Amino acid sequence: MRRLPARSLLAPDAIAGGSARTDDDAYRWLEAVDSEAALAWVETRNLETLARFKDADFQTLESGLREIFDADDRIPFAVKRGGYAYNFWQDAEHPRGLWRRTPWAEYADARPAWEVLIDVDALNAEEGENWVWHGARCLEPADPDAPWERALVALSRGGADADVTREFDLLTGTFVAGGFERPEAKGGVGWIARDRVYVYSDFGDGTLTDSGYPRIVKRWQRGEPLAAAETVFEAAPSDLMAVAFHDDTRGFARDFIHHALGFYEQRLIELTADGQHLTLDLPLSAEVDVHREWLLVLLRERWNGLSRTEGVSDGSDEADYPAGALLAIDYADFKAGERDFRVLFTPTAHRSLEGFEWTRHFLVLDVLEDVKHRFERLQPRAHGEWPRQALSALPETGDVGLEAIDPDQSDEVFVTVTDYLTPTTLSQWDLAGDASPQPLKQAPQFFDADGMQVEQRFAISADGTRIPYFLVLPAGRDETDVSRETRPTLLYGYGGFEISLTPHYAASAGRSWLARGGAYVVANIRGGGEYGPRWHRAALRENRHKAFEDFAAVAEALVATGVTRVDQLGIQGGSNGGLLVGNMITRYPNHFAAAVCEVPLLDMQRYHQLLAGASWMAEYGDPDSDDWEHFLKDYSPYHNLRDNAVYPAVLFTTSTRDDRVHPGHARKMMAKMEAMGCDVHYYENTEGGHGGAADNAQRARLGALAWRFLWDRLGGA
């Protein structure tokens, strides 16, 4: 399902200058990512952490995780391109992975015959590199019966966001000599036609935004040097980024610029055939999608349906359309000045729109109702209401996903169904014909879930808001028995950027934690997207403390209801979730006994000057303004450590090659807490980017380290 725009944004690979207010930062030197002194410090802490936790139990956990990640009977999820199913696959023999394909007719077979297109490990050996797969964009031929011939392949050194792009020949299985090739940078290349592409990248001094994203879009013709490519759009340095894409839907071919002014403000601009820039007159905060003859608008704020400049309401009752509503209109009519939108979805206190998916004849809405998926199939019509039907054949619990297989040609979708205790099932469903999904593949079961339980509960936050959370209990635990024993419990959260945490098969947690008697909890705190824009806005900027209060409320509920004790409770979070964990450490140190803080933001006075940080000021605030004194300093964990406080045990993990969230956050917090005599441990993977790991071996090591640390500190042994 789609939420627009895609927010897996890019970041520069160098630290920026500092603020005068941080000159007294004793650990600022750790921000120099590759300095000899900083790397020596990292190596020492890594060795100390492994020496402490790398024992027989660690090795058992690590080997168990490798079995999960490398299992050859995992589902090979695929995308259809022409007559083939394409898949990227990693296992023990191919740690960096294989990009491969099989004839579409054979994909449903238990063991399809895969044709390897790119062996990344072999490529690394040949070129002396450490490439990590970043994906491929295949060019659809103009003739629907012709074979697909070309792809644009992205490869990253060590897993960083920065990558290179190379043109690949799908017929010969080789890179195209003299083809389109983009040097290493943040950005990308997208097809227009066989001999033309859009490129947005680092073109030299002054061509990136202050956030480090591409701000210049060029149209590049085959055979000409990149420097000679025609500039078609240029964003301001203070904007977030600009990218271009070509919609090759037959009969509706169009070109667009996605111009992001900030993280939650963007314009969609059509590049017309005569070279004009047609900016769609819509609220800057709205998420916009053009598909065939339709324009969809997903509102993040209330809107009265007027122009962009006068249409964003201040929240008064004059607004016609509420935040979280999905609107539709004929695209040609809209460009002609029509504003009679159809309302396809209106949120309620319990329902929000999580995403949508187009097929050839239908629009499918993915609605979250108290963090449970509900799907509706709508049939677009030029006039009148769009007939809708609830897709009752789908489960009402767990996580369900729908993805169109070929939205230009058919109404077939892939359906994935899973929950915390149930391995994923992949099915195929023709929404125009089949009564129910037809199973294709079943993921293996990695732990014995017999007797385990999943419950959804609600905690009451400090301001009275009900906060949902999922509780996964190990086997043999009777929640009706008042004499029951408590158990080690891990509480996970994120709470930011309108990202929802829905149930998924907990293979790693199941084998490494639940099977050993621990409980696992996921909190749906404010800042996320579980109840749409209102849930996100409730914890923005000066209201960030609401997310921390929500998480604390869930922790308190787990203790109050006898699930666990404070000395058995651990927490975990990464990236924005690392900021959450950092604030739980400094604000609520008596609520839990151990914390795993992964690729975190922790220095909120300098975050905007480190890598991609400037792009997140709409989420957190501007440290160079009054925001610092008014609220930011109150939730900057690095600045709120107190010498006389007793903190829980903490494991910090990050990656040297994370060029999105700077590893200096974790390094400095670790160094400061270590100097205070706290029970802290640290591990920095040398590869992996913001994901923390580049291959399954690295993922298994990081996972084993976290589970070993938690089990040790929470009394599981």
| Encoded tokens for 300 | 């993040």
- Catalytic-role residue among 156, 427, 461, 575: 575
* Helix pair 696-713, 56-70: axis angle to 10 deg: 140
Q: Is 690 noted as a catalytic residue in this protein?
A: yes
Task: Report the C-alpha gap between 468 and 170 in whole angstroms.
Answer: 47
Q: Are strands 79-81 and 84-89 parallel, antiparallel or unpaired?
A: antiparallel
Spell out the residues 6+ positions from residue 514 whose beta carbon is closer than 8 angstroms to its own: 447, 449, 452, 472, 474, 506, 520
Closest to 232 (Cα-Cα) out of 277, 289, 201, 268 = 277
The H or E element spanning position 65 is: helix 56-70
Spell out the residues 6+ positions from residue 629 whose beta carbon is closer than 8 angstroms to its own: none
Closest to 18 (Cα-Cα) out of 629, 576, 607 = 607
Helix (H, G, I), strand (E, B) or coil at 697: helix
In sequence order, what E strands does 299-420 have?
A: 326-330, 342-345, 351-358, 363-369, 373-378, 388-390, 399-404, 412-419
| Encoded tokens for 690 | 């913001």
* C-beta neighbour count of 98 within 10 angstroms: 21
My answer on whether omega of the bond before 5 falls inside 30° of 0, hence cis, is yes
Q: What is the full DSSP assignment across 403-417? A: EES-TTT--EEEEEE
Q: Is 361 noted as a catalytic residue in this protein?
A: no
Closest to 305 (Cα-Cα) out of 274, 336, 337, 273 = 337
Give strand pairing partners of 430.
412
Q: Are strands 150-157 and 163-169 parallel, antiparallel or unpaired?
A: antiparallel
Closest to 356 (Cα-Cα) out of 258, 281, 288, 303 = 288
Task: Report the C-alpha gap between 72 and 64 in whole angstroms.
Answer: 14
Q: Is the Cα dihedral 396, 402, 408, 409 positive or negative? A: negative
| Encoded tokens for 547 | 């997310």
Report the catalytic residues.
575, 690
